[in-house]
Structure 1
Amino acid sequence: MTGERVRPRVAVSSCLLGAAVRFNGGHSRDRFLSDMLSDHVDWVPMCPEMDIGLGTPRETLRLERSPQGPRLVTRKTRRDLTAPMTALAAERAATLRVDGYVFKSKSPSCGIHGVPLYTDEAVADRRNRGLYADAIMNAHPLLPVEDEGRLHDDVLREAFVERIFAHARLRALFEGDWRPRDLVTFHSRHKMQLLAHDPEAYRAIGRLVAEAGTCPRDRLATAYRHAFCTALAVRGTIGRNVNVLQHCLGMVSCHLDRERRADLVEVIQSYQVRHVPLSVPLALLRHHVRGAGAAFLREQTYFFPYPDELRLRNHVPA
């Protein structure tokens, strides 16, 4: 069972990779990003504060409430940096060609949630995004986005990594000289993965692909990209994974004896009741798929959505 290895292009706050660009002249190097994920993705490091000419070390920034919306202001000298940061974000958003983005948490420019908004010296609201991150996310609503803090959560980490690799495979398809039959092949390989996220979208996308030979190529690509990325943004659940595992079991069942079928049923049930991680039934299924002659299942990205070395399916669901 093999899958094409397309390396995602991922934008990242450069301090998270160890660049000394923080306000205090330091960095915020994240071990998962720099030590593990770096072997499998191509980073596009960015630091919007440095890019608008702020050097390091520098005065700290904060978001302040105004009638025109949040303003990005230096804390002591009260310098308003809203205009240059907004201009940079608009320029980046217009040219951004990546499969995901990892932002620095809590930053008034790059935070994606929980950024405080001030009125005078009091915090008026803590439910904001940083000015730069907000512009990027509004311009690219389907782009997989996380911050390094949320990536410490096993579920969020796996969901983000799965999405960036799926986006990268889709990008590789549409950047090439693809034909409708290539999209049909791509979709066929992703069927079980889509089903694990959004069964309703899985059926709708199937109807879209059925018209691949008659729909104009550009319109087809736009519609498929939107539907595919929207479906994968839906969080997979234990119930949906069990549904997919049972589908796969049904496809190989005729090649197995009673004892092996019973083993698979038992381990799927163990996952369903949160006794084992998803990696356990998947490993057993992958083993049987290799020897069962099930060509359709051998090509399913559901079994290898990202490199196995990342070991992201080894957590027991809470």
Structure 2
Amino acid sequence: MSEKDKALVGISACVLGNKVRFDSGHKKNKFVVNELGQHFSFLPICPEVAIGMTVPRPTIRLVQSDNEIVLVESKDSSKDYTGAMARYSKETASQLSQKKLCGYVVCANSPTCGMERVKVYKENSARKEGVGLYTSNLMEAMPWLPIEEDGRLNDPALKENFVNRVFSLHDFYCSMGEEPTVRKIIEFHSRYKLTLMAHHPEAYKEMGRLVADVKSYPIDKFFTIYRLALMKALQQQASRKNNTNVLMHVRGYFKRSLSKTQKQEIGRLIEDYRKGELPLVAPLVLLKHYLSSYPNDYLSSQAYFDPYPQELRLRYGL
């Protein structure tokens, strides 16, 4: 896959292995670099270095000052980087929102890049309740953007959900091409019906009504509305219950083609998955086999069956 065909993903430079941390070190994530790097085109950014901080440098932290969160040096609070970081973050977030950025991997616990539970100091105590200043601006400027922390990618479910969202957004951008059209929107939505059913059944219904009314909107406005709705829906992890419902729905398409024994076999696999005795990939493999034997154009178009490259093996842990 050429670089231009890969999903463009922002990343904290230290997570990519760049030695830009305060101690001249890095936080290289092997899964991100070695596996996702085969499919993503990374855009590394270190906000601290970008605003002129040195490597190495004194540590910094978030401090509650009256009703404001400030970014200061840990040992000398008179050295305040709040203004510089806020300006850089807003400018960069604005620039990135104009690109077809499909995701962002940020560094956990960082006072600039942390996504959640970042320490905020007040007097002699610290609470893990903050968001890094840089990432906070990313979230505000691009509420549709899949963002995940490096440490959380060790969780199989969170990892799968993030990768799924990145590939889905990339697919959306590729499907729209140079400019969105009503036809492109409808065709894309049709391919993601099973995916939406698995992640968020209520959003699936709401988005169906939205798409049915697409001609009532200026197409550029609908593009932004649909993108946000899609990514918010996929942010909810696909539950075992919802996946089971989708699997049973798919099974229904083969009811006139399968023998009694085949129906029992796929039924047993779906039930074993529902009970947590098998991973999702088990019934999916058999359903995909039936699909190859008994073709169905609608099912063949569904992104649900292959949301990302199989070599990532993300569904083995679900």
Q: TM-score, normalised by structure 1?
A: 0.94
Deviation (angstroms), 1:178: 3.6
* Residue 117 of structure 2 is aligned to residue 114 of structure 1: yes
CA distance, structure 1, for counterparts of residue 281 and residue 314 of structure 2: 9
Between the aligned partners of 2:212 and 2:61, the Cα distance in structure 1 is 51
Equivalent-residue separation in structure 2 for 1:83 and 1:170 (angstroms): 36
Give 1:212 deviation, angstroms: 3.4
Matches within 5 A, 1:1-318: 7-78=6-77, 79-96=79-96, 97=99, 98-120=101-123, 122-213=124-215, 215-316=217-318
Letter in 2 for 1:28: K
Report the Cα distance in structure 2 between the residues aligned to 1:212 and 1:76, rounded to whole angstroms.
56
Write out per-residue CA displacement over residues 125-154 of structure 1, whole angstroms, 9 at most, x where no aligned residue: 211111211121122222111101111000
SS at match of 1:16: coil
Conserved 8 A contact 2:180-2:219: no
CA distance in 2, matches of 1:201, 1:255: 32
In 2, Cα distance between equivalents of 1:136 and 1:274: 37
**How far 1:214 moved relative to its partner?**
5.0
Distance 1:86 1:231 in 2: 29
Amino acid at match of 2:53: L
Q: With CA pairs under 8 Å and 6+ residues apart, which has the higher RCO, 1 or 2?
A: 1
The runs of 5 or more residues in structure 2 that have no matched partner are: none
TM-score under structure 2 normalisation?
Answer: 0.94
Deviation per CA, 1:66-88, whole angstroms, max 9, x where unpaired? 02411111122331000000001
Report the alpha carbon displacement of residue 257 of structure 1 after superposing the two structures with TM: 1.1
SS of equivalent to 1:17: coil
CA distance in 2, matches of 1:166, 1:124: 38
Measure the CA separation in 2 of the matches of 1:222 and 1:77.
44
Alignment RMSD, CA only?
1.6
- Which shows bigger deviation, 262-271 or 181-190? 181-190
Q: Distance in 2 between matches of 1:207 and 1:112?
A: 33
- Following superposition, the deviation at residue 213 of structure 1 comes to 4.3
Greater shift after overlay, 28-37 or 63-72? 63-72
Compute the displacement of 1:298 (Å): 1.1
Could you tell me which runs of 5 or more consecutive residues in structure 1 were left unpaired when the two chains were aligned. Answer: none
Amino acid in the other structure paired with 1:7: K
CA contact (8 A) 2:111 2:132 kept: yes
2:15 aligned partner, one-letter code = L
Paired letter, 2:83: A
Report deviation, 1:201.
Answer: 1.4
Contact in 2 for aligned 1:13/1:45 (Cα 8 Å): yes
Q: Deviations over 1:288-307 (max 9, x none)?
A: 11111211111110001111
Residues of 2 paired with 1:215 and 1:124: CA distance? Answer: 48
Given residue 292 of structure 2, which amino acid in structure 1 is its aligned partner?
Answer: R
- Relative to structure 1, the CA distance from residue 178 to residue 124 in structure 2 (aligned partners, 3 Å threshold; closer, same or farther) is closer
Distance 1:9 1:154 in 2: 22
What SS does the aligned partner of 2:23 have? coil
Greater displacement, 130-139 / 11-20? 130-139
User: Greater shift after overlay, 160-169 or 67-76?
Assistant: 67-76
Q: Equivalents in 1 of 2:257, 2:178: separation in Å?
A: 38
Give structure 1 regions of 4+ aligned residues with deviation exceeding 6 angstroms. none
